[in-house]
Amino acid sequence: MNSLLSKLTGSGVTQPPKLRIAIIGQSNFAAEVLELYLDKGYEIVGVFTIPDKNGREDVLATTAKQLNIPVFKISAWRRKGVIIPEVFETYKSTGATLNVLPFCSQFIPMEVIDYAAMGSICYHPSVLPRHRGASAISWTLIEGDAIAGFTIFWADDGLDTGPILLTRECSVLETDTLDSLYKRFLYPVGVTAMGEAIDMIAAGNAPKVKQSEVGATYDPAIFKEENQVIDLAQPALRIFNFVRALDSVPGAISYVVSQSGEEETVRLFGASLLSELPKNVQEIRFKGVKDSGAFVHDGGIVITGTDGRYVNIQRIKKGSRIIAASKWFEQNVARVPLELTPEEKQMEGVLRGFWESILKVEVDGDTDFFACGAGSMDVVRLVEEAKDAFEINLENEALLMAPVFSEFFEEVVKAKRNGDTVQEITVPFEGFVMKANKREIPVPTQLFIAGEFVDAENNKTSDVINPTNEEVLCKVAYASENDVDKAVKAAHDAFYGSWKSMNARQRGQIMFKLADLMEQHKEELATIEAVDSGAVYTLALKTHIGMSIDAWRYFAGWCDKIEGSTIPVNAASPNNVLTFTKREPIGVCGLVTPWNYPLMMLSWKMAACIAAGNTVVIKPAQVCPLTALKFAELTVKAGFPKGVINITTGAGSLAGNAIARHPLVRKLGFTGSTPIGQTIMTTCAQSNIKKCSLELGGKSPLVIFADCDLDKAVKYGMSSVFFNKGENCISAGRLFVEDKIHDEFVRRVVKDTKTIAIGDPLNRSTAHGPQNHKAHFDKLLEFCARGVSEGAKLVYGGRRAPNMKGYFFEPTIFTNVEDHMYIADEESFGPIMIISKFSGSDVDAVVKRANKTEYGLASGVFTKDLAKALQFSDKIEAGTVFVNVYNKTDVAAPFGGFKQSGFGKDLGKEALNEYLKTKCVTIEY
């Protein structure tokens, strides 16, 4: 609003009305527009949306209620073509001066449209005047338009004919569908444009450009079933465009013709163009397609267009069920539904509630879990909730094989009827019973030496604190130097005894058996990890434990594949020489592992170490040693000889240092801080020049260019920092965001961060648990205080989560971070996002800033420019480079850092090198 006008009193100048916005519509799109307007400081006087459907209200209503904005659910605005008086009075009571219709499926009477003094603006998903009507996105694709986009216009008494405020355009890609076009452009850019429109209106400079009638079209509504029928008697490109225009809802209707001439209605999804007819096809008849014009093959169903070109269909819906088109002849028989007991019918309602809580949509029998946008963590959460609620054994694969609700429910029912139980495994030890997660889990608390659980010298113990409630969880043995000496000697005896006499393939078999036992007990291990370290249970199950199991299986496969080589050398005539190398185990290896991934770090190092034929003494983190001790119990059951694996719990300064100094230890693997790594390296040299590998601190840079996929950048930018509560060695310690998108990136990150569920790590809906221990929690508070004192802008978090007992720290976001600041240089190892701005015109400059650190563990870049990504990966000084993704590690890929982030590799074939020595043998004959 022009501030000058408000000062011109008595001058004959009429003040424009105050901007009081009524939002009329529905959907997530409208909800985001609402939140954007509030972020911008505009007044929202009311939200008018649709009534609840099947007991579920529209997300716009839910969002408005959470923000304390009046909500009015209107089932109808008119009766027999006339506005309903009481509805009109309700609307007028808000005193709205501007109506905003972000997405509205209802007919809004002109009395409402015209009542607002500043008018009404509407969002329309096409570049007007083309494709007026309710199905504009679909018709953009059906007609094969090269350009798509949206228009924000001023509503009038015509249908999508009002003056234009602004338009935005994008190219239509060959891979675009109804969904992809909406998600990649019409939705995200549309929300931002609605913000631009309101700013122009507030400033008094919003245009009103009369629509041209040149090129104007008005297209039929696709929600009417008769308009969903596809004509297959047309060129392939037209068929392709029609199918993708109705993908993933409602699907293009077609008719399969049987040999008797009967027609079966089906819907087609997943279209693509083919250049040639596939091999090994089986003919199928479609209405409108000439004979020998449609075929089932391994990749779907091919339909021949009238121009002789081909369209492939990947999925077909028959009745209420979607099947792979390639399975047409295999699944052409209807499933016989299960006859349910009353108890099982109640189970169906409970399971539907789980689905709806995760997917945020109304779920029916045909709802596809993954088509609704679910990801891998959602799979873990759903399966775990089902297992807990129904007390069944269920694997993630059950959902992957049956992603449709009705099919998955049948799998749940079958699992309940089978009533399988998991066999308990016990080994003699002293400890305690952890009662958590609807389980009672016996947990050892003693040292594990020479295949047995034993007390520490003088029965000394230390407290283990539960980070969720700050209470003592148990007391665990505190190893002395003598205890470490016993463990090392047990490992030394085993290396030269029972373990050395076992061949490589037998080692692999034992490792595979251990992995299987870990799989059987993964829920117990994940529960212990969640309680002991504060890891969110679903993440612990998928990553902490899941990747541990993967590591043991991966390296088990390497046991009998460790080879030397023959080398051609020059021999003194007339003799011959054979030279070859042997790859041999080092001997006793010491491992010292951190507290952020207790079992996973143990497994990453120990699995490679054992596969190479060594024996081990490990000191797990003092603050969370319990999964290591439970793991020790499983090694006995797996059949590991005594002394091969030894676990000494206690302090790093005592037990860890004793391992590093011991003369019988020939290799040390360490993960932890850089200062401790320096001490470890010195000790290794001074003791017996033992080999060492170090995975140390990080300040990993993540560079986000303006040409990135912003949705992915926001998603992975958040996970790069907040994954595992920020207690992640490759956490993005600093985000460099290009100035063109900086403000929008920050706005979206802050918005999404506010929705992160903080709480009990055993709760399946929790996304962010407590920090691992008090000292670290206090360090994070100090880190944030330092950032604020140096002038960085704290835009969110930076404090203990309010009204919560435990080490719960709010996810935190800093902006305006300059290179000289402490928080720009030092690692927080917590959920603290550090954002700095850069100009995209100088790629070398931002890479130089990213490299201006003594750490070099990981890095990341988001850009659609392949040359820019490769340039970044060439110049960045880091052991791992992520491009358009982050935190994507795998047990087969080597992992390790540069500079003061250490040296040596975990994971992958290269990890074996850390635990092997090369012997060269030369024979003259």
3-class DSSP state for residue 804? coil
Euclidean distance between CA atoms 376 and 111, whole angstroms: 49
Active-site pick, 729, 738, 776, 784: 729
Q: Which residue has the tokens 């609704």?
A: 372
- Closest by Cα among 629, 653, 547, 648 to 590: 648
Euclidean distance between CA atoms 785 and 731, whole angstroms: 20
Using the 8-state DSSP alphabet, how is residue 267 labeled?
A: E
**Torsions phi, psi of 476, nearest 5?**
-120, 145
**Residues 6+ away with beta carbon under 8 Å from 582:** 564, 918, 919, 921
- In angstroms, the first-to-last Cα distance of the chain is 97
User: What is the number of other CB atoms lying within 10 angstroms of the CB of residue 46?
Assistant: 20
- Closest by Cα among 390, 380, 388 to 346: 390
Q: Which residue has the tokens 């809906």?
A: 765
Euclidean distance between CA atoms 134 and 29, whole angstroms: 16
**131 is a catalytic site residue:** no
Euclidean distance between CA atoms 105 and 30, whole angstroms: 12
Euclidean distance between CA atoms 226 and 316, whole angstroms: 18
3-class DSSP state for residue 213? coil
3-class DSSP state for residue 566? strand
Q: Checking phi first, is residue 277 left (phi over 0); if not, alpha (psi -120 to 50) or beta?
A: beta
Active-site pick, 35, 124, 492, 727: 124
Amino acid (one-letter) located at 659? I
- Are the beta carbons of 155 and 120 closer than 8 angstroms? yes
**Residues 6+ away with beta carbon under 8 Å from 819:** 836, 849, 852
Euclidean distance between CA atoms 109 and 369, whole angstroms: 38
Amino acid (one-letter) located at 632? A
- Are the beta carbons of 224 and 200 closer than 8 angstroms? no
CA angle 764, 767, 773 (to 5 degrees): 105
**411 is a catalytic site residue:** no
Number of C-alpha atoms within 13 angstroms, CB side, residue 546?
A: 14
3-class DSSP state for residue 108? coil
Q: Give the DSSP H or E segment for 624.
A: none
Tokens of 275: 């250049």
Tokens of 314: 């990947």
Residues facing 271 on adjacent strands: 313
- Are the beta carbons of 800 and 758 closer than 8 angstroms? no
SS3 content of the chain, % helix, strand, coil (to 5): 35, 25, 40
Amino acid (one-letter) located at 294? A
Tokens of 431: 């400890």
**729 is a catalytic site residue:** yes
CA angle 355, 359, 363 (to 5 degrees): 55
**Residues 6+ away with beta carbon under 8 Å from 298:** 278, 280, 326
User: What is the number of other CB atoms lying within 10 angstroms of the CB of residue 553?
Assistant: 19
- Are the beta carbons of 159 and 217 closer than 8 angstroms? no
- Are the beta carbons of 426 and 432 closer than 8 angstroms? no
Q: Give the DSSP H or E segment for 406.
A: helix 405-418
Active-site pick, 384, 385, 695, 914: 695
Residues facing 701 on adjacent strands: 734
Tokens of 119: 């008018």
- Are the beta carbons of 48 and 22 closer than 8 angstroms? yes
Catalytic residues: 124, 695, 729
